[in-house]
Amino acid sequence: MSHDTAVTLARGTVRTLSQQEELPLLRDHLLRLDRASRHDRFHGYMDDSFIERYAEKCANDGTTIIGYFEDGVVRGAAELHPPEHSAGSQPEIAFSVETPVRRKGVGSILFKKLIAEARAKGYRSLRITTGAQNEAMRALASKFGAHLTFGHGESTGSIDLAPQRQPELAPSAVATTLDAARAIVNFNRAYWRMLLRMYGWGRTA
Ligand SMILES: CC(C)(COP(=O)(O)OP(=O)(O)OC[C@H]1O[C@@H](n2cnc3c(N)ncnc32)[C@H](O)[C@@H]1OP(=O)(O)O)[C@@H](O)C(=O)NCCC(=O)NCCS
């Protein structure tokens, strides 16, 4: 288990996965996502072999994975991808919650935990990209201060982690502090570059 504190919920637990050993749990979680969820999560349908390579990449590139566990199985995940080395690059974030446990606050709990983790790492802002039609993710991101703009079938926005201007959130069972503020909107292609590299269409990671 990671050094961070696990948060126990009524049904499950939220904690960071250890980088190498527990990454198969992320892979298995992503493989359980149905077609529509994979489409939403990866901005297009992605096959099993893609997901297997994607999870392996996360295990080796410094991505932090926060998992929602039920009975030792990861049913939801928040991903915090380190920024690329180029100037102005931001850490990218992504979320996935399996259908049977959706709309119960799991995504929100993962988001809070991810923001606490990002702040602990000293990140000042986070980038999120999702499909323009993805109402669930847009609702979740908006709840945490992301102002999304549309372009090329996507919604993109950033979340400012500066400590001031903290919006009031609905009470939660999680004691994680959230400082999310307005977004600076600036289309970022880093996430797409990463996905394209997974397919071998871009430069090697
Ligand atoms: C997006 C996703 C992670 C949300 O997970 P979740 O556990 O259902 O989220 P929560 O229960 O915490 O809901 C968060 C907010 O979004 C809203 N929401 C959730 N699903 C929604 C939907 N389908 N339509 C509209 N609003 C929705 C909730 O009402 C909630 O707002 P509230 O707290 O004001 O009530 C989940 O739907 C998912 O995994 N989708 C597939 C993968 C994906 O699209 N990933 C995003 C790409 S990065």
Give the residue extent of every domain in the chain: 7-198
| pLDDT value at residue 190 | 57
High-pLDDT (> 90) share of the chain, %:
58
Q: How far, in Å, is the centroid of ligand 1 from the Cα of 205?
A: 30
| pLDDT value at residue 20 | 79
| pLDDT value at residue 45 | 67
| pLDDT value at residue 86 | 73
With a 6 Å cutoff on the Cβ, whether 40 touches ligand 1 is yes
Q: How far, in Å, is the centroid of ligand 1 from the Cα of 131?
A: 13
- pLDDT higher than threshold 60 for residue 74: yes
Please state the rounded mean pLDDT for residues 6-13: 73
- pLDDT higher than threshold 80 for residue 174: no
- pLDDT higher than threshold 90 for residue 154: no
Return the ligand 1 atom nearest residue 40 CA: 44
Q: Which contacts qualify for 16-24: CB closer than 8 Å, 24 or more apart? A: 16/64, 16/65, 16/66, 16/67, 16/113, 16/117, 17/65, 17/66, 17/67, 17/74, 19/59, 20/59, 22/65, 22/67, 23/55, 23/56, 23/58, 23/59, 23/65, 24/55
- pLDDT higher than threshold 70 for residue 21: yes
With a 6 Å cutoff on the Cβ, whether 205 touches ligand 1 is no
* pLDDT interval class at 10 (50, 70, 90): low
Q: Which of 108-112, 167-171, 197-201 has the highest mean pLDDT?
A: 108-112
Judge whether 78 and 110 are in contact, CB under 8 Å. yes
Q: Mutate which of 108, 138, 142, 158 to test ligand 1's pocket (most atoms within 8 Å of Cβ)?
A: 108
Return the ligand 1 atom nearest residue 104 CA: 11
Residues 6+ apart with CB under 8 A from 174: 7, 14, 109, 112, 113
With a 6 Å cutoff on the Cβ, whether 64 touches ligand 1 is no
Return the ligand 1 atom nearest residue 97 CA: 39
| pLDDT value at residue 150 | 83
Return the CATH class of domain 7-198: alpha beta
Q: Mutate which of 11, 26, 45, 103 to test ligand 1's pocket (most atoms within 8 Å of Cβ)?
A: 103
Please state the rounded mean pLDDT for residues 178-185: 30
Q: How far, in Å, is the centroid of ligand 1 from the Cα of 120?
A: 25
**174 alpha carbon, distance to own chain's centre:** 18
Chain-wide mean pLDDT for the chain? 81
